[in-house]
Protein backbone atom coordinates (compact mmCIF):
# COMPACT_ATOMS: atom_id res chain seq x y z
CA UNK A 1 0.00 0.00 0.00
CA UNK A 2 2.83 2.37 0.83
CA UNK A 3 4.42 1.53 -2.51
CA UNK A 4 1.18 2.39 -4.34
CA UNK A 5 0.95 5.71 -2.54
CA UNK A 6 4.51 6.44 -3.67
CA UNK A 7 3.42 5.62 -7.22
CA UNK A 8 0.61 8.15 -6.99
CA UNK A 9 2.87 10.79 -5.54
CA UNK A 10 5.40 10.25 -8.30
CA UNK A 11 2.69 10.19 -10.94
CA UNK A 12 1.42 13.53 -9.71
CA UNK A 13 4.80 15.02 -10.49
CA UNK A 14 4.50 13.99 -14.10
CA UNK A 15 0.83 13.82 -15.00
CA UNK A 16 0.68 17.47 -16.07
CA UNK A 17 3.74 17.02 -18.23
CA UNK A 18 2.90 14.83 -21.14
CA UNK A 19 1.83 17.55 -23.54
CA UNK A 20 1.68 20.81 -21.65
CA UNK A 21 4.33 22.56 -23.66
CA UNK A 22 2.13 22.24 -26.73
CA UNK A 23 0.36 25.35 -25.45
CA UNK A 24 3.25 27.28 -26.96
CA UNK A 25 2.46 25.97 -30.45
CA UNK A 26 -0.86 26.77 -32.17
CA UNK A 27 -3.05 23.73 -32.79
CA UNK A 28 -2.42 22.25 -36.20
CA UNK A 29 1.03 23.79 -36.58
CA UNK A 30 3.50 21.37 -38.15
CA UNK A 31 5.96 21.99 -35.30
CA UNK A 32 3.53 20.37 -32.88
CA UNK A 33 3.61 17.15 -34.90
CA UNK A 34 7.40 16.97 -35.05
CA UNK A 35 8.07 17.99 -31.44
CA UNK A 36 10.08 15.49 -29.39
CA UNK A 37 7.59 14.23 -26.77
CA UNK A 38 10.41 13.75 -24.26
CA UNK A 39 11.47 17.38 -24.57
CA UNK A 40 7.85 18.38 -24.11
CA UNK A 41 7.76 16.38 -20.88
CA UNK A 42 11.05 17.77 -19.63
CA UNK A 43 10.18 21.40 -20.36
CA UNK A 44 6.76 21.18 -18.77
CA UNK A 45 8.10 19.33 -15.72
CA UNK A 46 10.50 22.18 -15.04
CA UNK A 47 7.72 24.74 -15.44
CA UNK A 48 5.08 23.01 -13.30
CA UNK A 49 7.37 21.92 -10.48
CA UNK A 50 9.00 25.34 -10.34
CA UNK A 51 5.58 26.89 -9.83
CA UNK A 52 4.66 24.39 -7.12
CA UNK A 53 7.95 25.04 -5.33
CA UNK A 54 7.59 28.80 -5.61
CA UNK A 55 4.01 28.76 -4.31
CA UNK A 56 4.60 26.11 -1.64
CA UNK A 57 3.41 28.16 1.35
CA UNK A 58 0.44 29.53 -0.54
CA UNK A 59 -0.66 26.08 -1.71
CA UNK A 60 -0.23 24.53 1.74
CA UNK A 61 -2.27 27.32 3.30
CA UNK A 62 -5.09 26.82 0.80
CA UNK A 63 -5.01 23.42 -0.88
CA UNK A 64 -7.85 24.36 -3.20
CA UNK A 65 -5.45 26.57 -5.16
CA UNK A 66 -3.72 23.48 -6.53
CA UNK A 67 -6.79 22.48 -8.56
CA UNK A 68 -6.72 25.41 -11.00
CA UNK A 69 -3.04 24.64 -11.61
CA UNK A 70 -3.80 21.02 -12.46
CA UNK A 71 -6.91 21.90 -14.47
CA UNK A 72 -4.96 24.40 -16.53
CA UNK A 73 -2.04 22.06 -17.15
CA UNK A 74 -3.59 18.59 -17.30
CA UNK A 75 -7.12 18.58 -18.61
CA UNK A 76 -6.50 20.00 -22.12
CA UNK A 77 -3.80 17.40 -22.76
CA UNK A 78 -5.33 14.16 -21.48
CA UNK A 79 -7.88 12.16 -23.42
CA UNK A 80 -10.17 11.40 -20.49
CA UNK A 81 -12.89 10.06 -22.77
CA UNK A 82 -10.56 7.46 -24.22
CA UNK A 83 -9.26 6.62 -20.74
CA UNK A 84 -12.76 6.23 -19.29
CA UNK A 85 -13.86 4.12 -22.27
CA UNK A 86 -10.86 1.82 -21.85
CA UNK A 87 -11.45 1.55 -18.09
CA UNK A 88 -15.08 0.58 -18.74
CA UNK A 89 -14.07 -2.10 -21.22
CA UNK A 90 -16.99 -4.07 -22.68
CA UNK A 91 -19.46 -2.16 -20.48
CA UNK A 92 -18.88 1.13 -22.32
CA UNK A 93 -21.15 0.21 -25.23
CA UNK A 94 -23.88 -0.86 -22.82
CA UNK A 95 -24.00 2.60 -21.25
CA UNK A 96 -26.38 5.26 -22.54
CA UNK A 97 -24.87 8.49 -23.95
CA UNK A 98 -25.83 10.29 -20.75
CA UNK A 99 -24.20 7.60 -18.61
CA UNK A 100 -21.06 7.80 -20.73
CA UNK A 101 -20.94 11.58 -20.29
CA UNK A 102 -21.30 11.29 -16.52
CA UNK A 103 -18.68 8.54 -16.27
CA UNK A 104 -16.14 10.65 -18.16
CA UNK A 105 -16.89 13.70 -16.02
CA UNK A 106 -16.66 11.85 -12.68
CA UNK A 107 -13.58 9.85 -13.73
CA UNK A 108 -11.83 13.02 -14.85
CA UNK A 109 -12.64 14.81 -11.61
CA UNK A 110 -11.44 11.88 -9.53
CA UNK A 111 -8.10 11.72 -11.33
CA UNK A 112 -7.60 15.48 -11.18
CA UNK A 113 -8.32 15.57 -7.45
CA UNK A 114 -6.09 12.58 -6.76
CA UNK A 115 -3.08 13.97 -8.56
CA UNK A 116 -3.64 17.53 -7.40
CA UNK A 117 -3.52 16.31 -3.81
CA UNK A 118 -0.45 14.18 -4.41
CA UNK A 119 1.28 17.02 -6.23
CA UNK A 120 1.37 18.92 -2.94
CA UNK A 121 3.76 16.21 -1.68
CA UNK A 122 6.48 17.16 -4.13
CA UNK A 123 9.75 17.76 -2.28
CA UNK A 124 12.41 17.91 -4.96
CA UNK A 125 12.44 14.30 -6.17
CA UNK A 126 14.70 13.74 -9.16
CA UNK A 127 13.20 12.87 -12.55
CA UNK A 128 15.16 10.77 -15.06
CA UNK A 129 14.43 10.67 -18.78
CA UNK A 130 15.51 7.42 -20.49
CA UNK A 131 15.74 7.42 -24.30
CA UNK A 132 12.48 7.47 -26.26
CA UNK A 133 12.23 4.92 -29.08
CA UNK A 134 9.98 6.60 -31.62
CA UNK A 135 9.56 5.79 -35.29
CA UNK A 136 9.31 8.55 -37.84
CA UNK A 137 5.75 9.80 -38.33
CA UNK A 138 4.59 7.70 -35.38
CA UNK A 139 1.05 8.40 -34.18
CA UNK A 140 1.56 6.69 -30.84
CA UNK A 141 4.58 6.85 -28.58
CA UNK A 142 5.70 5.66 -25.17
CA UNK A 143 7.57 8.27 -23.11
CA UNK A 144 9.49 6.63 -20.23
CA UNK A 145 10.44 8.46 -17.06
CA UNK A 146 11.81 7.46 -13.67
CA UNK A 147 11.12 9.31 -10.43
CA UNK A 148 13.29 8.89 -7.37
CA UNK A 149 11.49 7.31 -4.42
CA UNK A 150 12.54 7.80 -0.82
CA UNK A 151 13.98 4.60 0.62
CA UNK A 152 13.64 2.64 -2.62
CA UNK A 153 14.62 2.35 -6.26
CA UNK A 154 13.35 4.87 -8.86
CA UNK A 155 9.73 4.41 -9.89
CA UNK A 156 9.30 3.90 -13.66
CA UNK A 157 6.39 5.88 -15.08
CA UNK A 158 5.64 5.42 -18.77
CA UNK A 159 3.24 7.65 -20.68
CA UNK A 160 1.27 6.39 -23.65
CA UNK A 161 0.49 9.27 -25.98
CA UNK A 162 -1.53 9.51 -29.17
CA UNK A 163 -1.14 12.18 -31.83
CA UNK A 164 -4.50 13.83 -32.49
CA UNK A 165 -5.62 15.17 -35.87
CA UNK A 166 -4.98 18.72 -34.67
CA UNK A 167 -1.32 17.87 -34.13
CA UNK A 168 -1.50 17.70 -30.34
CA UNK A 169 -0.18 14.76 -28.35
CA UNK A 170 -2.62 13.49 -25.74
CA UNK A 171 -2.10 10.94 -22.98
CA UNK A 172 -4.45 7.96 -23.03
CA UNK A 173 -2.78 5.77 -20.40
CA UNK A 174 -0.05 5.87 -17.77
CA UNK A 175 1.90 2.78 -16.72
CA UNK A 176 3.30 3.03 -13.20
CA UNK A 177 5.91 0.43 -12.25
CA UNK A 178 4.42 -1.92 -14.83
CA UNK A 179 0.81 -1.31 -13.79
CA UNK A 180 -1.51 0.38 -16.29
CA UNK A 181 -3.69 3.07 -14.77
CA UNK A 182 -6.54 2.18 -17.10
CA UNK A 183 -6.26 -1.57 -16.49
CA UNK A 184 -6.10 -1.02 -12.74
CA UNK A 185 -9.41 0.84 -12.76
CA UNK A 186 -11.03 -1.60 -15.19
CA UNK A 187 -11.24 -4.33 -12.54
CA UNK A 188 -12.76 -2.04 -9.92
CA UNK A 189 -15.23 -0.55 -12.41
CA UNK A 190 -16.37 -4.05 -13.43
CA UNK A 191 -16.82 -5.03 -9.78
CA UNK A 192 -18.98 -1.98 -9.03
CA UNK A 193 -21.09 -2.58 -12.13
CA UNK A 194 -21.67 -6.22 -11.21
CA UNK A 195 -22.58 -5.26 -7.64
CA UNK A 196 -25.16 -2.75 -8.82
CA UNK A 197 -26.57 -5.12 -11.40
CA UNK A 198 -27.00 -7.90 -8.86
CA UNK A 199 -29.27 -5.70 -6.74
CA UNK A 200 -31.67 -4.87 -9.59
CA UNK A 201 -34.95 -6.80 -9.41
CA UNK A 202 -35.82 -6.24 -13.07
CA UNK A 203 -33.47 -8.38 -15.16
CA UNK A 204 -33.94 -6.12 -18.19
CA UNK A 205 -32.58 -3.15 -16.24
CA UNK A 206 -29.66 -4.82 -14.51
CA UNK A 207 -26.95 -3.43 -16.77
CA UNK A 208 -28.19 0.14 -16.47
CA UNK A 209 -28.49 -0.29 -12.70
CA UNK A 210 -24.93 -1.56 -12.55
CA UNK A 211 -23.56 1.37 -14.52
CA UNK A 212 -25.56 3.79 -12.37
CA UNK A 213 -23.93 2.19 -9.32
CA UNK A 214 -20.50 2.92 -10.77
CA UNK A 215 -21.46 6.55 -11.39
CA UNK A 216 -22.77 6.93 -7.83
CA UNK A 217 -19.57 5.44 -6.43
CA UNK A 218 -17.37 7.83 -8.41
CA UNK A 219 -19.54 10.78 -7.48
CA UNK A 220 -19.41 9.83 -3.79
CA UNK A 221 -15.60 9.72 -3.85
CA UNK A 222 -15.49 13.11 -5.52
CA UNK A 223 -17.98 14.63 -3.08
CA UNK A 224 -16.01 13.32 -0.11
CA UNK A 225 -12.79 14.66 -1.59
CA UNK A 226 -14.37 18.06 -2.23
CA UNK A 227 -15.62 18.15 1.36
CA UNK A 228 -12.15 17.38 2.67
CA UNK A 229 -13.17 14.03 4.12
CA UNK A 230 -10.63 12.16 2.05
CA UNK A 231 -7.45 13.11 0.24
CA UNK A 232 -7.22 10.17 -2.12
CA UNK A 233 -9.88 7.96 -3.69
CA UNK A 234 -10.35 4.68 -1.85
CA UNK A 235 -9.27 2.68 -4.90
CA UNK A 236 -5.94 4.46 -4.94
CA UNK A 237 -5.26 4.60 -1.21
- The CATH number of residue 160's host domain is 3.10.450.710
Of the chain, the end-to-end C-alpha distance in Å amounts to: 7
Residue 157 CB partners (closer than 8 Å, separation 6+): 7, 10, 11, 14, 144, 145, 146, 147, 174, 175, 176, 177
pLDDT at residue 4, rounded to an integer: 42
**Percentage above 90 pLDDT, the chain:** 36
pLDDT at residue 35, rounded to an integer: 60
Greatest mean pLDDT among 2-6, 7-11, 31-35, 81-85 lies in 81-85
Q: Is the confidence at residue 12, as pLDDT, over 80?
A: no
pLDDT at residue 230, rounded to an integer: 40
Q: Is the confidence at residue 201, as pLDDT, over 70?
A: yes
In a domain, 232, yes or no: no
Domains in the chain, number: 1
Give the residue, 24 or 154, on which the prediction is more confident.
154
- H helices present in 63-125, as ranges: 66-73, 80-88, 97-119
In a domain, 107, yes or no: yes
Q: Which residues pair with 153 in a beta bridge?
A: none
Q: How far apart are CA 20 and CA 148, in angstroms?
A: 22
Q: How far apart are CA 192 and CA 210, in angstroms?
A: 7
Q: Is the confidence at residue 84, as pLDDT, over 90?
A: yes
- The H or E element containing residue 34 is helix 30-34
In a domain, 233, yes or no: no
In a domain, 231, yes or no: no
Query: What mean pLDDT comes out for the span 182-206?
Result: 94
Whether the Cβ atoms of residue 152 and residue 11 lie closer than 8 Å to each other = no
Q: Is the confidence at residue 52, as pLDDT, over 60?
A: yes
Domain that holds residue 89: 2-226
Q: How far apart are CA 75 and CA 163, in angstroms?
A: 16
Average pLDDT of the chain is 79
In a domain, 237, yes or no: no
pLDDT at residue 88, rounded to an integer: 97
In a domain, 56, yes or no: yes
pLDDT at residue 25, rounded to an integer: 37
In a domain, 181, yes or no: yes
Whether the Cβ atoms of residue 195 and residue 53 lie closer than 8 Å to each other = no
Tell me the pLDDT tens digit for each residue of 203-225.
Answer: 999 999 999 999 999 999 999 98
Residue 32 CB partners (closer than 8 Å, separation 6+): 22, 25, 26, 167, 168, 169
Confidence bin at 17 (pLDDT 50/70/90): very low
Classified as helix, coil or strand, 164 is coil
Nearest to 155 by CA among 179, 171, 182, 133: 179
CA atoms 27, 33, 36, 37: torsion sign: positive
**Percentage above 70 pLDDT, the chain:** 78
pLDDT at residue 16, rounded to an integer: 39
In a domain, 169, yes or no: yes
Query: What mean pLDDT comes out for the span 184-198?
Result: 96
Amino acid sequence: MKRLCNWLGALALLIPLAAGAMDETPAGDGAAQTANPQEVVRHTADTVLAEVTKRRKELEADNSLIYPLVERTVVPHFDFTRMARAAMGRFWRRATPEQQRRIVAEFQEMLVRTYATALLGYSGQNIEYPPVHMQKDAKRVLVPTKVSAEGGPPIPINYRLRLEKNGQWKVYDVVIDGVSLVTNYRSSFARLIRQGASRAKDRSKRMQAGIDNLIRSLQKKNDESAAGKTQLPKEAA
